[in-house]
A and B are shown apart, each in its own frame.
Chain A
Amino acid sequence: MKRRSQTLVFENRPKLIAGMSVVGKKEGDGPLGKYFDRIEDDPKMGKNTFEKGETAMLTEAVEGAAAKAGLKISDIGALFAGDLLNQLVSSSYAARDLPVPYFGLYSACSTMTEAVALAAACVNAGYYETAACATGSHFATAERQYRFPLEYGCQRPPYAQWTVTAAGCGIISADGDGPAVTHAAIGRVVDYGITDANNMGAAMAVAAMDTAIAVFVDTETSPEDYDAIFTGDLGRVGSEIMRDLCREKGAELGQRYSDCGEMMFSAKQKCYSGGSGAGCSASVLNSFILGKMNAREYDRVLLLATGALMSPTTSFQGESIPSVCHGIILENDL
Chain B
Amino acid sequence: MTDNAERNARYGKYVEWISPKTDYTHSLVKAFVAGGLTCVTGEIARNLLGMIPGVTDEQAAVFASVLLVVAAIFMTGLGVYDAIARHGGAGSFLPITGFANAMSSAAMEFRAEGLITGTAVKMFSVVGPVVVNGVVWSAAAGVLRYIVALIWGTI
Residue numbers of A with Cβ under 8 A of B are 48-51, 144, 148-155, 157-159, 192-194, 199, 202, 206, 237, 240-241, 244, 273, 320
Chain A residues, CB < 8 A from B15: 194, 199, 202, 241
Chain A residues, CB < 8 A from B12: 192-194
A152 touches B105 (CB 8 A): yes
Residue of A at shortest CB range from B79? A151
Chain B residues, CB < 8 A from A241: 14-15, 18
Quick check: which of B42-50, B55-63, B81-89 contacts chain A, the rest being far away? B81-89
Task: Give the one of A48, A153, A194, A320 with max B CB within 10 A.
Answer: A153
Sample (13) of A-B pairs whose CB atoms are under 8 Å apart: A50-B112, A151-B79, A151-B101, A152-B126, A153-B85, A153-B86, A155-B22, A159-B20, A192-B7, A193-B12, A237-B20, A244-B14, A320-B8
A158 to B102, CA, bound (A): 22
A49 to B110, CA, bound (A): 10
Chain B residues, CB < 8 A from A51: 112
> Which bracket fits the contact residues of B?
35 or more
Residue of B at shortest CB range from A195? B12
A150 to B105, CA, bound (A): 7
A151 touches B105 (CB 8 A): yes
A153 touches B18 (CB 8 A): no
A51 to B109, CA, bound (A): 12
A149 touches B88 (CB 8 A): no
Residue numbers of B with Cβ under 8 A of A are 5, 7-9, 11-12, 14-15, 18-22, 27, 76-77, 79, 81-82, 84-86, 88-89, 92-93, 98, 101-102, 104-106, 108-110, 112, 125-126
The DSSP consensus for interface residues of chain B is: helix
Known: A192-B7, A240-B18. Is A151-B93 also a contact (CB below 8 A)? no
A194 to B15, CA, bound (A): 9
Shortest C-beta distance, B93 to chain A (Å), equals 6
A151 touches B81 (CB 8 A): yes
A194 to B12, CA, bound (A): 7
A159 touches B126 (CB 8 A): no
A21 to B143, CA, bound (A): 62
Residue of A at shortest CB range from B30? A155
Shortest C-beta distance, A286 to chain B (Å), equals 29
Residue of A at shortest CB range from B90? A155
Known: A192-B8, A194-B15, A244-B18. Is A149-B108 also a contact (CB below 8 A)? yes
A149 touches B106 (CB 8 A): yes
Shortest C-beta distance, A126 to chain B (Å), equals 42
Known: A157-B22, A159-B20, A194-B15. Is A152-B86 also a contact (CB below 8 A)? no
Partner of B20, one of A50, A152, A158: A158
A158-B20, A194-B12 known, 20 other contacts, Cβ within 8 Å: A149-B105, A149-B126, A150-B108, A151-B77, A151-B82, A151-B109, A152-B101, A153-B84, A153-B85, A153-B98, A154-B93, A155-B86, A158-B21, A159-B20, A192-B11, A193-B12, A199-B15, A199-B19, A273-B20, A320-B8
